[in-house]
Amino acid sequence: MKVILLDNIKGVGKKDEVINASDGYARNFLFPKKLALEANAENMSKLKAKQDSNQYKKSVEKEEAQKVAQKLNGILLKIAVKTGENGKIFGSITAKEIADNLKEQYKIEVDKKKIELKEPIKTLGSFNVSIKLYEGVVGTLKVQMIGM
């Protein structure tokens, strides 16, 4: 019997996947626990509509991420920091501070978890910081540390 899974089931399949299940397993386990629906014409058309909607949402999100990446590529983010001797910064600049400054100066919101810093910035100068905006979309931001 063909069924549409409504949830991820370990060893069976993932949500919204159409699988072949034995009649007994489907009737006695999957249907009563509302883990699956019968794969009839009505349910298949609902599944197709849901998948099309998700695909459209993903394409819109990717386009928006590409626009933000274009903006980021042209930005020079200047961060003023207190420095000691030899141009060393008191403390360090982390992904959170970069995200906060980007929001404050350019009104672009980026999740700090998506900013890729191998280690916090501890010296003056210019640095290229890559930001993963979406799957396959990476923006590069130029960050310049200015001593006070």
Query: Domain limits of the chain?
Result: 2-61, 65-147
Domains 2-61 and 65-147 share a fold: no
Query: CA torsion, points 96, 97, 101, 103, in degrees to nearest 10?
Result: 10
Q: Which segments of the chain does DSSP mark as H helices, in order?
A: 23-25, 41-73, 95-106
Contact 121, 89 (CB under 8 A): yes
The pLDDT score that the predictor gives to residue 60 is 95
* Residue entry with tokens 């909607």: 53
Taking a C-beta distance cutoff of 8 angstroms, is the pair 44, 54 a contact?
A: no
| Residuewise pLDDT in 10s, the chain (148 residues) | 999 999 999 999 999 999 999 999 999 999 999 999 999 999 999 999 999 999 999 999 999 999 999 999 989 999 988 888 777 888 889 999 999 999 999 999 999 999 999 888 888 889 999 999 999 899 999 999 988 7
Give the CATH class of 2-61: alpha beta
Residue 114 to residue 128: CA distance in whole angstroms: 14
Region 65-147: CATH code: 3.10.430.100
| 117, 82 contact by CB (below 8 A) | no
Q: Read off the pTM.
A: 0.70
